[in-house]
Structure 1
Amino acid sequence: MRRKIIAGAATLLAAVGTFTFVVTRAEAATQTLQSLAAAGGRYFGSATDNPELTDTAYTAILGGGEFGQTTPGNAMKWDTIEPTQGTFNYTKGDAVVTFAQAHNLKVRGHTLVWHNQLPGWVSALPAAQLQAALENHITQEATHYKGKVFAWDVVNEPFNDDGTFRTSPFYNAMGSDYIADAFRTARAADPDAKLYINDYNTDGQGAKADAMYNLVKSLKAAGVPIDGVGFQAHLAIQYGFPTNMQANLQRFADLGVDVAITELDVRMVLPRDSAKDATQATYYNNVVKACVAVTRCVGITIWDYTDKYSWVPSTFSGQGAALPWDENLVKKPTAYDAIVTGLGGTVQSPSASVTSAGPSPSKSASSSPPAAGACTATYKIVGSWPGGFQGEVSVTGKAGWTVRWTFANGQTISQLWGGTLSQSGSAVTVTPASWNNTPPATFGFLASWNGTNALPTVACS
Structure 2
Amino acid sequence: MTRADPSRRLVLASGLALAACRSEAQPAPWTGPVPALKDIAPFPVGACVPSAYLDDPSWVELARRQLDQITPEWELKMEYVLQSNRGDYRFDAPDRIADFARDNGLGLHGHALIWYAQEAPYFMTLDPKRFAGEYDRYIREVAGRYAGRMIGWDVVNEAVAEDGNGLRDCLWSERLGGQEAYIVRAFEQAKAADPNAVLFLNDYNLENNPTKGATYLRLVERLLTLGAPLGGLGVQSHLDIEIADGQIRNFIREAARFGLPIHISELDATQRREGRLPDTRSLKHKRARQHAVTRELVQAYMELPAAQQYGITTWALRDRDSWLRRPPRDDGRDSLVLFDDWGQPTAMFAGFVEGLSA
TM-score, normalization: structure 1?
0.65
> What SS is found at the alignment partner of 1:107?
strand
* Structure 2 counterpart of 1:225: 229
Following TM superposition, by how much is the alpha carbon of 1:344 offset from its aligned partner in structure 2, in angstroms?
Answer: 1.9
* Structure 1 counterpart of 2:55: 54
Is 1:286 the counterpart of 2:299? The answer is no
Post-superposition CA distance 1:313-341 (Å, at most 9, x none): 33634573111211222222x22121111
- Which of 264, 269, 272 lines up with 1:269 in the alignment? 272
Post-superposition CA distance 1:421-450 (Å, at most 9, x none): xxxxxxxxxxxxxxxxxxxxxxxxxxxxxx
C-alpha distance in structure 1 between counterparts of 2:260 and 2:350, whole Å: 30
Following TM superposition, by how much is the alpha carbon of 1:117 offset from its aligned partner in structure 2, in angstroms?
Answer: 3.3
Query: Relative to total residues, which structure has the larger helix share, 1 or 2?
Result: 2
Is 1:71 the counterpart of 2:68? The answer is no
Identity %: 26
Could you tell me whether the CA contact under 8 Å between 2:199 and 2:229 is conserved in 1? yes
Structural mapping, 1:10-409, within 5 Å? 12=24, 15-17=27-29, 19=31, 21=32, 31-38=35-42, 42-64=43-65, 66-84=66-84, 85-160=86-161, 161-174=163-176, 175-176=178-179, 177-204=181-208, 206-237=210-241, 239-241=242-244, 244-269=247-272, 273-295=283-305, 296-314=308-326, 316-317=329-330, 320-332=334-346, 334-344=347-357
Q: Kindly tell me: are residues 223 and 106 of structure 1, through their superposed partners in 2, closer, same or farther at Cα, counting changes over 3 Å?
A: same
The count of residues paired between Structure 1 and Structure 2 equals 321
Following TM superposition, by how much is the alpha carbon of 1:13 offset from its aligned partner in structure 2, in angstroms?
Answer: 6.3
C-alpha distance in structure 2 between counterparts of 1:98 and 1:223, whole Å: 34
C-alpha distance in structure 2 between counterparts of 1:235 and 1:245, whole Å: 9
> What SS is found at the alignment partner of 2:71?
strand
Following TM superposition, by how much is the alpha carbon of 1:48 offset from its aligned partner in structure 2, in angstroms?
Answer: 0.9
Following TM superposition, by how much is the alpha carbon of 1:124 offset from its aligned partner in structure 2, in angstroms?
Answer: 4.1
Post-superposition CA distance 1:129-179 (Å, at most 9, x none): 332221110000111000111000000000112332112110111212000
C-alpha distance in structure 2 between counterparts of 1:93 and 1:129, whole Å: 26
> What SS is found at the alignment partner of 2:313?
strand
> What SS is found at the alignment partner of 2:59?
helix
> What SS is found at the alignment partner of 1:254?
helix
Query: Relative to total residues, which structure has the larger strand share, 1 or 2?
Result: 1
- Unaligned segments of structure 2, at least 5 residues: 1-22, 274-278
Q: Kindly tell me: are residues 75 and 286 of structure 1, through their superposed partners in 2, closer, same or farther at Cα, counting changes over 3 Å?
A: same
* Structure 2 counterpart of 1:375: none
C-alpha distance in structure 1 between counterparts of 2:220 and 2:245, whole Å: 20
C-alpha distance in structure 1 between counterparts of 2:207 and 2:125, whole Å: 34
Could you tell me whether the CA contact under 8 Å between 2:47 and 2:70 is conserved in 1? yes
Could you tell me whether the CA contact under 8 Å between 2:139 and 2:190 is conserved in 1? yes
Following TM superposition, by how much is the alpha carbon of 1:249 offset from its aligned partner in structure 2, in angstroms?
Answer: 2.0
Could you tell me whether the CA contact under 8 Å between 2:79 and 2:120 is conserved in 1? yes
Computed over aligned residues only, the root mean square deviation of the Cα atoms, in angstroms, reads 2.3
- Unaligned segments of structure 1, at least 5 residues: 1-10, 346-461
1:214 aligned partner, one-letter code: R
> What SS is found at the alignment partner of 1:236?
coil
C-alpha distance in structure 1 between counterparts of 2:245 and 2:132, whole Å: 36
1:220 aligned partner, one-letter code: L
Greater Cα radius of gyration, structure 1 or 2 = 1
Question: Which deviates more, 84-93 or 169-178?
Answer: 84-93
C-alpha distance in structure 1 between counterparts of 2:128 and 2:25, whole Å: 52
